[in-house]
A and B are shown apart, each in its own frame.
Chain A
Amino acid sequence: MPATEPTPPLSSGDGISRRSFLRVATALSAGVAAMAAGLAPLRKLEHYSSVDEFLQKHYLDLNPAEMKRVLARIEDEVQRQYKIRPHVRDFRPMNGVEFVYALNLSRCVGCRKCVHACVAENNQSRNPEIQYIRVLKMPNDGSFDMDKGDTNYAPKAVPEAGSFYMPVQCHQCKNPPCVKVCPVKATWQEPDGITVIDYNWCIGCRYCEAACPYFARRFNFTAPSIPADKLNPNMSYLGNRPRSKGVMEKCHFCVQRTRDGRYPACVEVCPTGSRKFGNILDPNSEVSYILKNKRVLILKEELGTLPRFFYYFDV
C-alpha cells in the first residue's frame, strides 16, 4: 500500500471531544490571565474621564443651557483637583473686533518675562513646563536665519551685544494650516481672529502640531501639573482652564483677558514696550498705526498663512 503523507487532522469542528475542550479551556484561561496581567498598569489610572465629559458635544454645538452645565462641571473638576473654586466663563468674540499683534524687534531685549507671564496667566503645566512663547536669540551678523537662532541662551544679563531677539508664538493666521488639517474640527478660527481649541473635543492626533509653520502648538504629553497656589482662578472655556492629558493647547491671545477688554499677559508684562496689541478694524488703534507707518516683517510670508502677528522695526 502506498503511504499517505501525514497531514494535520482536520476535524469537522462540530464534534468537540472532551480532551480538545479541556485544551481550549486551558488556552483560554491562560490567555485571559495573560491579558489581565498585561492590563494591570491600568489600575493606576486616576479619574480619566466622566460620562458627561465623554458624551459632551462640540463647543459650537452647545446651547446656552448646556454650556452652563459644562462650565459648572469644569468648575467642579478644578475644585476637586486643586481645592480652589475657579470662575470659568465662556467669553464670546466682540463685534467689530479683529485682534492683531505687533512686536518690535528693535526693542525686544530677550528677557523672557513674556514667556513666564504667559505660563502663569494661562495655567500651563509647570512640570513638564509648557511655554507658548519661544524667544530666539539671533546673531547680528547681516543675516536673518532662524537656523542660527538659539532658544537656550542663559547669560547673566540681557541683551547681549551682537544679538537681537525674536519671540515666536501663535501667529493667529487668517489662513491657518492647523485648522485645515484637524480631522475633527477641534480647532477653528473665531470671528475676532483667534484660533482656539476645544480641549474637550481634541483627540490628540498632533496633526496640527506637524502642520504649524511657527512651532506654536503644544501637546500635553502627560497630565499637566500646576501647584494649586499658582492656579489662576479666572478661567475661560476656550482659554486658560486646565487642560487634560493628551490634548493640544496653544496661545489664544489670552482670550479670557482680551475679550474682557484687557491686554494679553505678555503685552502687560513686557518691560520694553516691544509688544503691541489691538483691534485692526479700528483705524485709530496702535496696531493700525504701526502697520501703516512702520517697516513690517511677516514671518514665512511665502507660505500664505496670512499671520495676524507682525514684527516691526523702529525705523
Chain B
Amino acid sequence: MRNYLRFLRRCAGVSLQGDWRYYTWIGVLGLLCVVGLNAYAKQFVAGLITTGMSDQVSWGVFIANFTFLVGMAAAAVMLVIPVYIYKNEDLHDLVIFGELLAIAAIVMCLAFVTVDLGRPDRFWHLIPGIGKFHFPGSMLSWDVLVLNGYLLLNVYICGYLLYCRYQNRKPAKALYLPFVFIAIVWAISIHTVTAFLYVGLGGRPFWNSPIVGPRFLASAFTAGPAFVILALQVIRRATSAPAEAGPLAANGAVTPPVPTRSRAATLADLERLASCLPEIATVAVEERRAFLRDATVLTVPTGGILLHQGETDNDAFFVLQGRIVVKRKEGPRVRITRDVGPGEQFGEVSALTGAARAATASAEVPSEVLCVPAPALRRLMRNPKVNEIVTWRMTERLMIADHSLLILRSIVQVSMIINVFLLANELFTAFYNSNREEISWRYLVVGLRGFHALVPWFWTSVTLNLTALTLLVLPLSRNLKWLNVACVLCIFGIWIEKGMGLVIPGFIPTPIGEMVEYLPSRNETFICVGIWAFGLLCFTILLRMAVPILQGKLSRWNEA
C-alpha cells in the first residue's frame, strides 16, 4: 500500500515535468478548461436557456458529444481483443494506450451528462441505494451503471499493469485477466446501452431502428482506433529526439567501437542473475552448467554499445549490474523503447526470431551484462518459469512500430466499410418508401418544408466519411501521412454523423409535426470546448505518466 502511494506520488511528480512544448500544450488546455468552466458557471446561473436547446429539440451537442465519446471509450476493445484474444504481439505494448483513452473518454462522457442536467445538485438521486435508481426500467440508469463500471474497470486495469511494470514484476494473471475479459464485454455493452437510450423510444421513429446499435459500434470502432493511430504517432514523436552525431547518427556514420571487457561466465554470475531474476533459481544445476558453457560476461563503460540496430547477430543479454538503454532510430529521430536494469533482458527478440536488431543498446552507466547465444537462451527457456518471464518481458517495450499502426488501419478500414454500408441501408429504407415515419431522414438529407439547417452537416459528414473510406481502401494509406489524413476525416465525419446527424434530427419534426431547428449557442460551444480540453488534459497527463513507466525510465530502481 505504501509502495502504491509512493508510485502514485512519483506519477504525479512526473506529470508536472516536461519540456516547453508540454507546458504550452498543458497551458493551452488548462486555459480552455477555464473558458469552459466560465461558460458553465453562466449556464448554472441562468439555466439551460443559454443553450440552443428548446422543448422541441431537448438534447443538443452535450448529448451528441456524450454519444460520440462513449464510442471512443468502447473502441479501446479494438486493441484489447487482438492482444488478449488473438495474442497479437504487435499491439501488445499499445493496448494500454487504448485503455487510457477509454478513461479520458468516460471522464468526458460523465462531464457532458452533468452539464446537460437541469439540476446537477440532485445527482445523488441517481446513486443506487441512496437515491431512487430506476433500474432496470430506465435505459439511462443502465448507462449510469455501465459507464461508471467501465471507468472503474479501466482505472483498475491500467493502474495495476502500470504499477507492476513500475515494480518490475510480472502481473499476476488472476488479478487482471478476468477484468480484461469483463472489460471486453463491458465495452460492447456501454455503446449498446447508449444506442438503446435512443432505440428504446417508440415515439421517435428516426431512432427507433434496430440498426442504430450496430451503427454505433461500427462508427465507434472507426473513430476510436483512428484517434489511437494519431495519438500513438504523437507519443512516438514526443518521446523521441532528433538524432545527433554518434552511434545513432542519421547518416549511418560508423563510430569507433567502445572497448568492452569480456570473460567466461561462472556459476557465481548466474547466482547474481538469480538474485534479481528469481525464476533462474528453478533451473536445475546441470542445465545451468550447460547454459554457462557458451555464456560470457561483458563489462561496458558508460555509452558502450552492445548491439546495433539493423545488425543480424543472435546473442541475447541479461543485465547483471547497471542500466542499459535501448534506443530505436526512426527516420531522423531517436527514441528510447526501453530502459532495462538488473535481471532484465534485451536483444532476445532478434536472438529468438533471427530478425535484424530493432534498436541499439548501450550502457547508461558502467554495467555488466551476461551475453547468451540464441541456442543457450532457447535451452534455458525450456524451463517453464523462465520461459514465462522472458516471454512476458519481450512485450515490455514501447515500440509503436509502423506495422502496429497498419494493423489499426485495417480495423479502421473494415469498420468504416461496415459503417457506410449500414448508413446506406438506413437511407434506402428511408427514401425508397414514402413512409412518413422516415420524415426526419428527409429533413436531415434534403431538408423539409423550407427547413434545412442540418443538410450541410449531413453532406459534410458523408463527404468526410466517403473520402476517408476511399483513402483507407487504397494502398495509398499505407503511407502514414495519408493514413493520418484518413483518420482525421474519420473522426470528424463520425463526430458529425453521431451528433448533428443522429441526436438532433431525432427531434425534428416534433412528434406532433412542428418544425423547430437547433444550432448550438456560443456558450454551449464553449462548454463543449472546455470539456474536450479537460479530457485531452486528462489523456495527456495519463500518457505523461504511463510512457516513462513503459519505457522503464520511471521505475522502482530509481526511487530516491
Contact = CB atoms under 8 A, between A and B. Distances in A.
Do the two chains bind? yes
Interface of A: 1-15, 24, 31, 34-35, 37-42, 44-45, 48-49, 54, 58, 128, 134, 136, 145-149, 151, 168, 177, 180-186, 201-207, 209-215, 217-223, 244-248, 300, 303-305
B246 A2 contact: yes
A203 B47 contact: no
Contacts of A210: 58-59, 201, 204, 506-507
Given A15-B560, A184-B131, A205 B48 contact: no
Given A39-B37, A221-B53, A222-B47, A245 B118 contact: yes
Given A213-B203, A245-B47, A2 B14 contact: no
A149 B512 contact: yes
B122 interface: yes
B510 A215 contact: yes
A2 B140 contact: no
B202 A246 contact: no
A73 to B, nearest CB: 17
A215 B516 CA distance: 13
A220 B202 CA distance: 24
Interface in B17-62: 17-19, 30-31, 34-35, 37-38, 41-42, 44-49, 51, 53-56, 58-59
Contacts of A201: 122, 125, 132
A130 to B, nearest CB: 8
A58 B137 contact: no
Contact of A35 (B37, B54, B133): B37
A209 B58 contact: yes
B538 interface: no
Contacts of A168: 512
A304 B116 CA distance: 30
Contacts of A181: 138-140, 200-201
Given A3-B246, A183-B134, A39 B41 contact: yes
Contacts of B509: 147
Given A182-B138, A183-B141, 19 more contacts: A5-B246, A10-B17, A10-B548, A14-B559, A31-B30, A35-B37, A37-B34, A58-B132, A136-B512, A168-B512, A181-B201, A182-B140, A204-B48, A221-B53, A244-B119, A247-B118, A300-B203, A300-B511, A305-B202
26 contacts: A2-B362, A10-B17, A12-B13, A13-B9, A24-B16, A134-B514, A149-B513, A168-B512, A183-B133, A183-B138, A183-B141, A183-B144, A201-B125, A202-B118, A202-B119, A203-B117, A207-B197, A210-B201, A212-B203, A215-B514, A218-B55, A221-B54, A222-B49, A223-B47, A300-B511, A304-B202
Contacts of B514: 134, 149, 151, 215
Interface in B534-559: 548, 553-554, 558-559
B243 interface: yes
B322 interface: no
A217 to B, nearest CB: 8
A34 B35 CA distance: 9
A40 B414 CA distance: 48
Contacts of B56: 215
Nearest to B327: A5
Contacts of B244: 3, 5
A38 B37 contact: yes
A284 B114 CA distance: 50
B38 A38 contact: yes
B17 A11 contact: yes
B258 interface: yes
Q: Indicate the size class of the contact surface on chain B.
A: 35 or more
B41 A40 contact: yes
A180 B201 CA distance: 10
Contacts of B553: 7, 10
Given A3-B244, A303-B203, A42 B13 contact: no
A10 B554 contact: yes
A219 B58 contact: yes
Interface string B261-276: 0000000000000000
Nearest to A5: B241
Interface in B505-523: 506-507, 509-514
B340 interface: no
B213 interface: no
A37 B439 CA distance: 46
A148 to B, nearest CB: 7
B334 A5 contact: yes
A183 B119 contact: no
A49 B123 CA distance: 14
B117 A204 contact: yes
Given A40-B41, A204-B118, A246-B117, A147 B336 contact: no
Contacts of A186: 125, 132
Interface of B: 9-10, 12-14, 16-19, 30-31, 34-35, 37-38, 41-42, 44-49, 51, 53-56, 58-59, 113, 116-123, 125-126, 131-134, 137-141, 144, 197, 200-204, 241, 243-248, 255, 258, 303, 305, 327, 334, 336, 362, 436, 439, 506-507, 509-514, 548, 553-554, 558-560
Contact of B31 (A34, A39, A149, A214): A34
B558 A12 contact: yes
Contact of A41 (B45, B59, B305): B45
Contacts of B34: 34-35, 37-38
B534 to A, nearest CB: 12
Contacts of A218: 55
B140 A148 contact: no
B119 A247 contact: yes
Contacts of B16: 24
Contacts of A203: 117-120, 122-123, 125-126
A247 to B, nearest CB: 6
A44 B45 contact: yes
Contacts of A177: 201-203
A31 B514 CA distance: 47
Scoring B258, B509, B510 by chain A CB atoms within 10 A of each residue's CB, the highest score goes to B510
Contacts of A4: 246, 303
A280 B34 CA distance: 57
B225 to A, nearest CB: 29
Contacts of B201: 177, 181, 210-211
Contacts of A10: 14, 17, 548, 553-554, 558
B504 to A, nearest CB: 12
A11 B53 contact: no
Contacts of A147: 436, 439, 509, 513
Contacts of B511: 212-215, 300
B331 to A, nearest CB: 14
Nearest to B139: A181
A111 to B, nearest CB: 19
A8 B17 contact: yes
Nearest to A149: B513
Contacts of B19: 8
A220 B118 contact: yes
Scoring B35, B44, B58, B248 by chain A CB atoms within 10 A of each residue's CB, the highest score goes to B58
Given A41-B38, A247-B118, A136 B560 contact: no
B321 to A, nearest CB: 20
A67 B309 CA distance: 78
Contact of A209 (B51, B55, B248, B305): B55
Given A134-B512, A183-B141, A213 B116 contact: no
B336 A7 contact: yes
Nearest to A299: B512
Contacts of A248: 118
Given A183-B134, A203-B122, A220-B118, A9 B512 contact: no
A313 B86 CA distance: 66
Contacts of A136: 512-513
Nearest to A13: B13
B258 A2 contact: yes
